[in-house]
Structure 1
Amino acid sequence: MKASKKKIKIIVERTDTGFSGFAEDYPVFTTGRTVPELTDNALEAAKLYFEEEGIALNHDNLKFEIDFKQFFQHYKVINAKFLAEKIGMNPTLLSQYVQGHKKPSDKQTEKILGGIHQIGQELAEISLIYRG
């Protein structure tokens, strides 16, 4: 099998039991109770689809997308006002994006995603201790 540089866009949607994901351009779809389970299941489904073509895939070949409203509904721990202040965006504007009242430009989307990644990186580098 040959490794592929193919990028497969997987659209993620929340469901009553977790998440579903489907590829825009291929008949690849799956579900998962959690995001990590969904990503693993999506990779397995994509591998099965491309197996006949002799194409080997890994997680780098998959690009997961979820809309703003569903993202902030799931990740309630991310406070939109805090995020807006962190990235220098008007909190009301970010709220309008989150509620689906306005659509952010590609530049604004990248700015928001960069802020989310920055918060994630900061959290990943912290250890919690208890001092009694």
Structure 2
Amino acid sequence: MKTIRIIIERNEDGFWGYAENENAIVGGGDTVQKCKQDVLDCIATLKDLDSNNRPSFLEKEYELVYKFDTASLLNYYKGIFTNSALERITGINQKQIQHYASGHRNPRLAQRIKIETALHNLGKELLAVEL
């Protein structure tokens, strides 16, 4: 299965998404949700092209993986995670997290990995929950 990496970045108009490893996949919107939907709409449009113009990846199974810059990710999930909650799962001070979310500071690679790992671990833990 092919993995299509969609980069989502904040810009002055909202959010911009594009495929890192495929041509012709783009999207935008004033929220991350709208940007992701626009990317999906773009892929649907590509599927409607005739076979001579349709990108070859559409003929096989693929999955989309979204890659965010840190500020966009933290802002996207701010309604779900407080800075206090992020501090508990990452070990990064709330004030530092706020600096990352506002874009005043960019985290070093080690800090980005710490945030990503904490979120992935939380996701794995939640997948194991049964009610």
TM-score (norm 2): 0.62
**Residues 27-42 of structure 1 correspond to what in structure 2 (within 5 A)?**
27-30=24-27, 33=34, 35=36, 37=37, 40-41=40-41
Q: Which residue pairs with 2:72 in the alignment?
A: 70
- The runs of at least 4 aligned residues of structure 1 exceeding 3 Å deviation read 30-35, 37-49, 53-57
> Helix, strand or coil for the counterpart of 1:12?
strand
**1:115 maps onto 2:112 in alignment:** no
CA contact under 8 A between 1:87 and 1:115: conserved in structure 2?
yes
Shift, 1:77, TM fit: 0.7
Select the residue among 55, 59, 62 that pairs with 1:58: 62
CA contact under 8 A between 2:83 and 2:98: conserved in structure 1?
yes
Taking only aligned residues, the RMSD between alpha carbons, in angstroms, comes to: 3.6
Measure the CA separation in 2 of the matches of 1:57 and 1:91.
40
Select the residue among 119, 122, 129 that pairs with 1:126: 129
AA partner of residue 68 (structure 1): T
Q: Which residue pairs with 1:98 in the alignment?
A: 101
**1:86 maps onto 2:89 in alignment:** yes
1:49-95 CA-partner distances (Å, limit 9, x unpaired): 532x8973511xx4421222332222221122222222222222222
Measure the CA separation in 2 of the matches of 1:96 and 1:113.
17
Q: Which residue pairs with 2:5 in the alignment?
A: 9
Unmatched runs of 5 consecutive residues or more in structure 1: none
AA partner of residue 9 (structure 1): R
Measure the CA separation in 1 of the matches of 2:125 and 2:80.
14
Identity, in percent, stands at 25
Unmatched runs of 5 consecutive residues or more in structure 2: none
CA contact under 8 A between 1:72 and 1:98: conserved in structure 2?
yes
CA contact under 8 A between 1:50 and 1:56: conserved in structure 2?
no
TM-score (norm 1): 0.61
